[in-house]
Amino acid sequence: MDKDLESYFDKITEPKTELSGHAICPYLKKYLKSVKYGYAYDEQTIVLNNCIIVEQMQNDKGSTFVWIIKWDIDYDELHWLRQKQQKLYLDKDIEFLYIGKGQKNPPLQGVEYSYKTDSLLVLQRRSTLLEARKELAKTTNYYDFWKSSNKT
């Protein structure tokens, strides 16, 4: 695995005192073996490859794919890229998420978790993500730390 990405995963899966002992991404360790990644040097790489990646992800409940975006993309462009890709795959069980390089004002309050070297576009199984969110909301205070517009 990419060493920077591996280090980032370590950072977001360790318990944080600022979050009452929760990790930034509490379920990532459970599905870490299913995570794949690729480097994108332009938007076309993502657009052309996502159709194959999304189909492959349909066979694995814990499947996650991370695009490490190597071109200079600002936060608004990353947001629109995510929106465009999400619309293309509305009929699939895939959720597109993004983490901007040096993201300002992240939705998780009081914790810095941007990826330092590049922006990330993350594809996850929507059903698995929603199931995890529902479980966290029901059994923990995890979402007390998120800004109100980002709570499920």
Q: What is the pLDDT of residues 87-115, one digit of tens each?
A: 999 999 999 999 988 776 667 766 778 88
DSSP state of 26: T
Percent of the chain predicted with pLDDT > 90 = 72
Model confidence, pTM: 0.90
Report which of 78, 128, 75 is spatially closest to residue 104, judged by C-alpha positions.
75
37-46 residue pLDDT tens:
999 999 999 9
SS3 69: strand
Contact (CB, 8 A) for 102 and 114: yes
Rg (CA), the chain: 15
Number of domains in the chain: 1
Complete edge-to-edge strand list for the sheet that includes strand 119-125:
35-40, 64-69, 119-125, 94-99
Domain that holds residue 108: 3-150
Give the integer Cα–Cα distance in Å for 1 and 74. 25
Residue 118 has pLDDT above 70, yes or no: yes
Give the integer Cα–Cα distance in Å for 15 and 92. 32
Give the integer Cα–Cα distance in Å for 105 and 90. 28
